[in-house]
């Protein structure tokens, strides 16, 4: 580029000297050589400056991302990187910021989960420690009722740990090996789950409408039973009405299951939070419900393992919990029967 610019400049200057200044012979050569040196130096300076600022424009955001990556390596979340450029570098910056946001969200959820675990375990552990210290100090004497209370607190801790283990198991992409999927009747699984709660449902509701169509899916029977059991138990714990409707039907390559009832108020903006680990409605803390807030989180993990969807539609008090599970006609579900990962 420098040579091209210098060459064009010398050519134009030579034409000017010959045509307008009448310079020729050795004088022309000497003048052109001097001009060429000056033009070359100027061109190199301009090219150098252009190269410097161009490289700086590219290198600066790369250095910024490198420093941000080091912060992430140290367990810190860097601030948003501002990249004033487009193209591949700009796209890289956007992806980096998106990654940092995701990591920040994961870190926040992890911190909240640890606080929730500590909160759930603190009460039974405090009770156990209090009783044991009193027994050890001779303040109280052991009896059958006391030991039964200690056993119940111990079982409560065990249940929380087991729920966390189950949640973690379904959350990993190893269920194809550890939890094989089979061609199974989804309506039978749902009906069996409802039957297991029949006495409680009869006590809780004046009317239970059940409309379930027969269909087959590829899934894990025990896992799906866990989902339906968790949902039904959740409805029983937080219901405020006298009517429950349960339906199951095939729809556009999926099997859709709905549970409709009237329950505690759920803010529309918070309806997705009920599927998070340890989340419980504030009103539920004064009800008969004693769960750790893991049932719906486990249900979501299991349904997602089936490549399905689970959600809640609500107007505040009237709730519809819904589940969509792909049927065997779906290409992905067909691959599940072969134990393939996607």
Q: Which of 300, 190, 301, 197 is nearest to 249 (CA)?
A: 190
Residue 328 has pLDDT above 80, yes or no: yes
Tokens of 4: 């091209």
Per-residue pLDDT, 194: 93
Tell me the per-residue pLDDT of 136-146, one tens digit each, with 9 for 90 and over: 888 888 788 88
pLDDT bin (cut points 50, 70, 90) of residue 313 is very high
Longest pairwise C-alpha distance within the chain: 124
Residue 31 pLDDT > 90: no
Q: In this predicted structure, which of 131-135, 185-189, 223-227, 290-294 has the lowest mean pLDDT?
A: 290-294
In angstroms, the CA 155 to CA 163 distance is 12
pLDDT for 271: 73
Across-strand partners of 207?
243
Is 217 in a helix, a strand, or coil? strand
Percent of the chain with pLDDT over 90: 20
Q: Give the pLDDT band of residue 339 (cuts 50, 70, 90).
A: very low
Query: What percent of the chain is predicted at pLDDT more than 70?
Result: 71
Strand boundaries in the chain, DSSP class E: 182-185, 207-212, 216-219, 243-251, 254-262, 309-314, 318-326
What average pLDDT does the chain have? 77
Domain ranges of the chain: 2-73, 111-172, 177-336
How do residues 37-92 score in pLDDT, each as one tens digit?
776 777 777 777 776 666 666 667 777 777 878 877 777 777 777 776 667 777 77
Q: Which CATH architecture has domain 177-336?
A: 2-Layer Sandwich (3.30)
What pLDDT sits at residue 334? Answer: 47
pLDDT of residue 64: 76
Whether the per-residue pLDDT at 3 is higher than 60: the answer is no
67 and 81 Cβ atoms separated by less than 8 Å? no
Convert the pLDDT of each residue in 81-124 to its tens digit: 777 666 777 777 788 788 888 878 777 767 766 776 776 677 77
pLDDT in tens, 214-244: 999 999 888 899 899 989 988 998 888 889 9
pTM for the model: 0.58
* Greater model confidence, 175 or 225: 225
């Amino acid at each position: 580029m420098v040579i091209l610019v210098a060459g064009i400049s010398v050519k134009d200057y030579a034409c000017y000297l010959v045509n307008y200044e009448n310079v020729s012979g050795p004088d022309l050569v000497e003048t052109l050589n001097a001009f060429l040196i000056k033009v070359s130096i100027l061109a190199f300076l301009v090219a150098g400056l252009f190269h410097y600022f161009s490289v700086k424009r590219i290198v600066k955001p790369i250095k910024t991302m490198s420093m941000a990556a080091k912060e992430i390596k140290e367990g810190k979340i860097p601030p948003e990187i501002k990249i004033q450029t487009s193209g591949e570098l700009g796209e890289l910056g956007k992806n980096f910021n998106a990654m940092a946001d995701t990591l920040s969200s994961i870190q926040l959820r992890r911190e909240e989960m640890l606080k929730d675990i500590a909160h759930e375990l603190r009460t039974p552990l405090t009770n156990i420690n209090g009783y044991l210290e009193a027994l050890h100090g001779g303040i109280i004497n052991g009896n059958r009722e006391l030991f039964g209370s200690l056993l119940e607190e111990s079982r409560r801790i065990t249940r929380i740990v087991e729920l966390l283990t189950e949640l973690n198991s379904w959350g990993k992409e190893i269920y194809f090996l550890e939890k094989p999927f089979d061609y199974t009747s989804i309506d039978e699984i749902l009906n069996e789950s409802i039957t297991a709660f029949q006495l409680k449902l009869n006590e809780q509701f004046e009317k239970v409408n059940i409309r379930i169509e027969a269909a087959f899916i590829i899934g894990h029977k025990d896992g799906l039973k866990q989902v339906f059991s968790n949902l039904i138990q959740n409805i029983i714990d937080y219901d405020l009405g006298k009517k429950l409707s349960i339906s199951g039907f095939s729809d556009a390559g999926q099997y859709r299951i709905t549970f409709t009832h009237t329950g505690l108020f759920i803010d529309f903006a918070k309806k997705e939070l009920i599927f998070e680990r340890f989340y419980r409605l504030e009103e539920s803390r004064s009800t008969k419900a004693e769960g750790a807030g893991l049932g719906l989180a486990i249900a979501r993990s299991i349904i997602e393992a089936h490549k399905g969807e689970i959600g809640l539609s609500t107007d505040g008090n009237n709730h519809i919990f819904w589940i969509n599970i792909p049927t065997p006609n779906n290409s992905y579900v067909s691959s599940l029967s072969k134990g393939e990962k996607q």
